[in-house]
């Protein structure tokens, strides 16, 4: 019999649901596993876990609060915009949110939510309030990290130069009209103005890993389209680099080294290794890269919880399109926590829908 466990998931990227109210397919949805998630919570609250203290930790990018089509100019995000986005996400995922609500009925169940770069809007008090209204007033929101029992958990975007933001100045006054808006990082401008409009035709565009190799493939096999896209990326940079908004312009004052640095998925792993080496933490858990990972050295562990969206893997070792519902399970043995990286299989399904193979 277990006393307490913690479940860590990340990068669920809940959007407005698979279909619009009119029944039209929503190309911006990235999360398709509401039922599996429901079974997941059910499993860890029954049987051996029935009387167990269970904490669900959602380690960043829980919600997709970068929905360009809702925003007035496509990039300026106000608190009100985030409330609208959150409302639509809740409406689009009734099974998921019912599941969270039911989980929280029991007082020995807890939910902690960490802010990621796709849900920076959770930093706003009213957005947090709305989420608490929807799920439970007992949920806890952590703006940067959560640590306990020698475990350090953070989304990880702050170690990625294109997606980092300081919680100190992540809400600013717009220079255009004095309105309070989110101070979004470079990567969010890219998602809103470059990726978002292209997802209509290429819904998996932001799920390709590593992008570098995809570009190389593209140049070889689809030369004209890839070259055009690369030119558009250069244009995206120029427009922002010389933008009338000084704050936005300054953000794009980056050198090529910065950009190349951000293409390397390894760097966040290096940070985790450094934390384990130089602090007393014994377990570090990140998300953000969408690549599940588990490293163990001298009893110290680094885990990356991956993502529940699919990824288009361009790697040589395991190419293809994969979905792995990965999570970290933290168990306690005589008060010592141990973490393991796991994959949720849930109930066997005889069929499922294939999406976006255009």
Rounded least distance, CB 117 to Mn ion, Å: 7
C-beta of 189 vs 337, nearer to Mn ion:
189
C-beta of 11 vs 29, nearer to Mn ion:
11
Rounded least distance, CB 287 to Mn ion, Å: 7
Contacts of residue 200, defined as CB under 8 A and 6 or more positions apart, other chains included, come to: 27
Under the criterion CB under 5 A, does residue 160 sit at the interface with Mn ion? no
Report strand pairing: 140-142 vs 109-114.
parallel
Under the criterion CB under 5 A, does residue 61 sit at the interface with Mn ion? yes
Report strand pairing: 4-9 vs 53-59.
parallel
Q: Segment 223-262, which members bind Mn ion (CB under 5 A)?
A: none
C-beta of 65 vs 86, nearer to Mn ion:
65
Paired strand residues for 111:
56
Under the criterion CB under 5 A, does residue 206 sit at the interface with Mn ion? no
Tokens found for residue 318: 């395991």
Stretch that binds Mn ion, among 8-16, 28-36, 188-196, 257-265 (CB under 5 A): 8-16
Under the criterion CB under 5 A, does residue 11 sit at the interface with Mn ion? yes
C-beta of 109 vs 291, nearer to Mn ion:
291
Under the criterion CB under 5 A, does residue 119 sit at the interface with Mn ion? no
Give me the sign of the Cα torsion angle 196, 202, 208, 213.
negative
User: 65-95: string of b/e by CB count within 10 Å (b at 16+)?
Assistant: bbbbeebeeebbbbbebbbebbebbbebbee
Closest CA to 135 of 125, 127, 143, 145: 127
Distances in whole angstroms, Cα of residue 283 to Cα of each of 54, 57, 143: 18, 15, 20
Stretch that binds Mn ion, among 7-15, 46-54, 193-201, 325-333 (CB under 5 A): 7-15
C-beta of 11 vs 34, nearer to Mn ion:
11
| Interface residues toward Mn ion, by CB under 5 A | 11, 61
């Amino acid at each position: 019999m277990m006393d307490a466990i913690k479940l860590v998931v990340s990068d669920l990227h809940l959007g407005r649901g698979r279909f619009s109210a009119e029944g039209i397919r929503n190309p911006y949805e990235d999360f398709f596993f509401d039922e599996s998630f429901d079974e997941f919570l059910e499993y860890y609250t029954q049987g051996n876990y029935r009387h167990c203290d269970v904490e669900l930790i959602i380690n960043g990018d829980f919600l997709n609060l970068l929905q360009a089509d809702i925003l007035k100019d496509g990039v300026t995000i106000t608190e009100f915009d985030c409330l609208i986005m959150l409302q639509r996400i809740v409406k689009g995922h009734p099974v998921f949110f019912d599941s969270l609500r039911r989980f929280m009925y029991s007082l020995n169940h807890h939910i902690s939510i960490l802010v990621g770069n796709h849900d920076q809007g959770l930093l706003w008090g009213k957005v947090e309030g709305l989420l608490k209204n929807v799920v439970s007033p007992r949920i806890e929101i952590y703006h940067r990290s959560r640590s306990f029992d020698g475990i350090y958990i953070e989304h990880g975007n702050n170690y990625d130069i294109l997606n980092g933001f300081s919680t100190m100045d992540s809400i600013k006054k717009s220079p255009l009209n004095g309105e309070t808006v989110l101070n979004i990082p470079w990567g969010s401008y890219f998602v809103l103005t470059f990726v978002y409009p292209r997802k209509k035709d290429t819904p998996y565009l932001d799920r390709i890993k590593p992008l570098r190799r995809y570009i190389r493939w593209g140049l070889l096999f689809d030369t004209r389209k890839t070259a055009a896209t690369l030119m558009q990326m250069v244009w995206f940079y120029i427009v922002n680099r010389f933008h009338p908004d000084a704050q936005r312009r300054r953000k794009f004052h980056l050198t090529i080294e910065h950009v190349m640095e951000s293409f390397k998925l390894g760097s966040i792993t290096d940070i985790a290794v450094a934390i384990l080496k130089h602090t007393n933490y014994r377990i570090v858990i990140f998300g953000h890269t969408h690549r599940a990972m588990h490293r163990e050295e001298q009893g110290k562990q680094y885990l990356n919880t991956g993502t529940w969206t699919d990824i288009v893997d361009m790697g040589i070792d395991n190419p293809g399109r994969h979905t792995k519902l990965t999570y970290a399970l933290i168990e306690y043995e005589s008060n010592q926590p141990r973490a393991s990286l796991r994959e949720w299989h849930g109930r066997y399904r005889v069929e499922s829908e294939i999406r976006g193979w255009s």
